[in-house]
Amino acid sequence: MVREFLEIDDLETFRRVAEHSPLVIRRDPFLFAQFFSMMFFINVTRMKSEDLRRLFGMLKGKTIVVKGIVEASSIGEFIKKMDKGRLKEQPQNAPR
């Protein structure tokens, strides 16, 4: 399990790491790329817009956008948390 997160400021360095990672995770404002047991990240708010477009173009085929994060210690706990969240989203008179 990844326990170290290393920040990269340089676009080219992050690109080199990301090329060796099977996928790049996007959870704004960060991009993450795992390399062995380390997770490298870059803060996209610190980048120029043209550099950001170029980076997204280079990593287009391997970037996934994460909508939300749920912490759970097991699948059962995950399902319980998701069921509770779904119940909160439904109007009171809606069928389940």
Given this model, what pLDDT does residue 1 score? 66
Given this model, what pLDDT does residue 90 score? 55
Q: Kindly list the structural domains of the chain, giving each domain's residue range(s) and its CATH number in brackets, ordered by start.
A: 4-89 (3.30.720)
Given this model, what pLDDT does residue 95 score? 54
pLDDT beyond 90 at 89? no
- Top pLDDT among 76 and 92 is at 76
The string of DSSP letters for 23-90 reads -EEEETTEEEEEETTEEEEEEGGGS-HHHHHHHHHHTGGGEEE-------SSHHHHHHHHHHHHHHHS
Given this model, what pLDDT does residue 94 score? 53
Given this model, what pLDDT does residue 70 score? 84
pLDDT tens digit string along 11-64?
899 999 999 999 999 999 999 999 888 999 999 998 889 988 988 898 888 998
Given this model, what pLDDT does residue 4 score? 87
